[in-house]
Amino acid sequence: MTNLKKIFLGATAIAFILWGIKAIASDPNFLSPRKEFLSHTPPSIHSCLVDAKAGGKLWAQAKQGERFYYLVGVARSKDQYFETIIRLDSNGCLILIPQGESGFYPLSNYVDKTIARNLAIGRVREFMKLLGGREALQRYYEDQAADSSLETYITTDDAWALQREGVKIPNSKNVFIVGAEGVPLERQLQ
C-alpha cells in the first residue's frame, strides 16, 4: 500500500485521500489503456469520453427507467484522473460531474439517491476485487486512519456502500464523512 500513499504525499504537511479510494482509483495499474477502456463501455457514451486520452475504468453502472448511468474514471494523462457520471438516454450522453468537482461531493448531489447508492456500491465491489477482498479494503482504511499525516474524506454515499459491504469506517480524528456540502474548499487539492 505504500505506493498508493506516494500518490498524495508531497510538499504539503497534510495530504488527504478523497473518500479514501481516490489513490487506488488513480493508480495506473488499475486503469485500462484507452482502447481497452472504450471496448468495455457502450459506444453510445464514447462521445462523452473524449478526455479519456490515457484510458480509464468503468466502475459501475445503473439503470432508472429509460436512462442509464455509468460511473467512470477518466485518465486525461498519467497524472490527471477524475471520476464522472455519464447519463445516457434517447437524447444521447451527458457528463453529470464536471472535472473540477470530481470526488469532492457525494454522487447523490448529481443523481437520484438510489442511483448514487447503486453506483457507489458497484465501485466499492470493484475496489474490493482489485485489492483482493473485503479484508484488504478494511486494512487500507485502517492504515489511512492510523497515519496522522493524512486526512480521509468519505462521502455519505460511499460510507453507506462501505458499511453495506461490511467494511467498517475507522473511528479516527483523521476520517471525515462528507455530506452534500462537499469537502471544504480549503481542503481540496487543486
Question: pLDDT tens digit string along 11-33?
Answer: 222 233 344 444 555 455 567 88
Q: Does residue 149 or residue 120 have the better pLDDT?
A: 120
pLDDT, average across residues 110-138: 92
pLDDT at site 147: 87
Q: Tell me: pLDDT of 102 over 80.
A: no
136 by Cβ neighbours in 10 Å (0-12 / 13-18 / 19+) ranks as: middle
pLDDT at site 15: 31
Beta-carbon-side half-sphere exposure of residue 59 (alpha carbons within 13 Å): 27
Quote the CA–CA distance of 96 and 75 in Å, as a whole number.
17
Q: What percent of the chain has pLDDT over 90?
A: 35
For residue 94, what pLDDT band results from cuts at 50, 70 and 90? Answer: very high
Q: For residue 165, what is the enclosing H or E element? A: none
pLDDT at site 60: 94
Q: Does residue 19 or residue 94 have the better pLDDT?
A: 94
**Nearest by Cα to 75 from 42, 26, 39:** 26
pLDDT at site 2: 34
Q: Are 158 and 19 in contact (CB under 8 A)?
A: yes
pLDDT at site 67: 96
**Which tens digit of pLDDT belongs to each residue from 62-91?**
999 999 999 998 887 776 778 889 999 999
Q: Tell me: pLDDT of 5 over 70.
A: no
- Chain-centre distance for alpha carbon 107: 9
**Nearest by Cα to 52 from 18, 19, 86:** 86
In terms of residues, how long is the chain?
190
DSSP classification of residue 94: E
Q: Does residue 189 or residue 137 have the better pLDDT?
A: 137
Helix axes 156-164, 113-131, angle to 10 degrees: 60
Quote the CA–CA distance of 45 and 92 in Å, as a whole number.
8
Helix, strand, coil percentages for the chain (3-state, nearest 5): 40, 25, 35
